[in-house]
Structure 1
């Protein structure tokens, strides 16, 4: 996510860290790097100019507190302004105080509206509400069937609309059936188009007047950059919207849409799609994303992922074993499986402060975790608990059973021993407290060769 932008900004941040005194000249030089990074990231040019001017004004207009490094003071200003650019505050769904809540999903075809409707339903269900989804898209072939298939996978009720019905009638009947279904939130997936046209807008206006939605959410493909921003601006002017959902954010290396859309439309980004799976969807946090972009990590998101996906009792037990002599390959396998539940390792590592830059020097192989699991699963229980007995003959058998080779077995065992030794050393010192997590060992044996 935003790798290109982060790499470009890394140079600017290093320059800022080296400042011992803030002057108009050196601030200007550092901001030139930031300006180029933002423009290359496809950030709106007016937004970029305003951002740079605002940072310069604050940097020159405030005194650095005594004992605070001028460079760090400058980085804080850039960080705070970036949070502001991304929207400032985290904003969720505005649920109705009384009666049902109606959410209208809008956007162009191909933006991921249908999958987003289901992902959002899952998030809402986790908050204790009872959502129902309905497709008012009578134009796209199989649109209704697609929504039904996705929703049924996570046990979300779907209103049985048919393509021969009128979109407005579909919405009316879906609202009428909410009580029967025990639903208090209705998510309406409207039809998208390949481009904005008058017919599309007229239909949306008619649906809006009929259902009187609590939220009109515009779903935008983050990878389309300024095109997404311009379409969102037009939608807002013609229909009005209360929030934006950015999809495919995990594949967006630049970040132009995320950094421009709030400033251009005045509408906050509320959610972000970070993958194709139903659970790869999260509330948009401007402060956390700003930290990620500037290489500061995102510890809060890391903690939340751990709490959602990892059994806390098992994690505590694992943490104790990591620092003891009894930590073996059975424990290592369990640790790998815990991490897998949290998502792709490269994404997880980027949430750890400082890990993003360290990963650039690591040869990350996303399939190595799978191979490591296969290797351990091909071992006997005795071999897992006492890896020292694994001789050449045993290695040949394990390699045949796991579809790997002896070189990979040796590398995995070497990484395991290296991690075990490191953890044992840390367990005797201050590191124990700070490393009570499933990421001990800096990625050794998890698909990252240092």
Structure 2
């Protein structure tokens, strides 16, 4: 329940920020285009609070926090007095209407630049892309990638983090090969050529790194406890942070994974756990709680997380940037995310990426909660990513979205006359059905992940 409330609150905060930014883009440009704005609403349904400005615009925060809208004076919707006809959106030049509609997605992109710039000024810490292991018979194994390889470039472009490597793999999805420049464990420079001809992301939530067989380096797990979950079997048994596991039912514990397997096989079974605490061995009776595992089977759960060994020197990098460099990097990263988002849409259409990877509100909520837990830098990165995705999604040529309106206005600009009301109405109905279908499919994917 605590996790649910945390994710829900994080989701509402993140979505509220992004929707406000998007709708403010429409609002700001509409005002400057001479359009009367009647309502600026964050959320749908029953208003929780409302107020008015000097120009008569109503501001609303509504009960259902799943979007928002800007209601403008429009003769196609309302009866407009003759003296206000010049303030109606539909009577503005087509270029003005294009500017108002495109302002929402553009605001999301500008917001991503600002957020990423703030992140770079705070400082970004990441693990350098050192390969920890290579899965047998994988694409990486066939390219002779080896444990200890430090990935320097992909397709000639420098990479400094695992996120860079992941994005590079996704950008080159559908190509035949990808050259990877590495520095191996003996400090020698080598080229590993990944044969990605026919490679697809056709499994739900399959990470690109895992799909090609690359396992990032991570420090080994120790037998010392670094976290005890509240109300867990471990807490009830009296386990403490910095306890070191010694034995389970009298059998020495050699490694963490063997310990986890034993716990998972012992749901609701009383065990005697021996730990080292303050230079003495303490025996504690513990009964792992029962929960349902990823495969649907029952398994034991103790509620502990181990400490990791220290990272080797040179494996972790923290970078801080000045204001100007941060803005430039923010713009570059935003452009990269926009391009990647459009690439992924294309890959979904062509089947290179499975539609099982679509996420809906539940997936976003979990992502928001996790990013907040990791700290301000992770949350800013999440906000930028979702802001770009929101902007790109709204540019899709579905008539119920900004992109659909833009499509009609661009046709009007070319034909010198507007698209007929009948055609627009049909387009809105079809677009609404497509959008509902996509939302339902994404929600089903979210539920299957729970």
Please classify the TM superposition score into its range, dividing by the shorter chain length: under 0.3
Larger Rg: 2
Q: Decide which structure has greater strand share.
A: 2
Q: Which has the higher helix share?
A: 1
How does the TM-score come out when normalised to structure 2?
Answer: 0.22
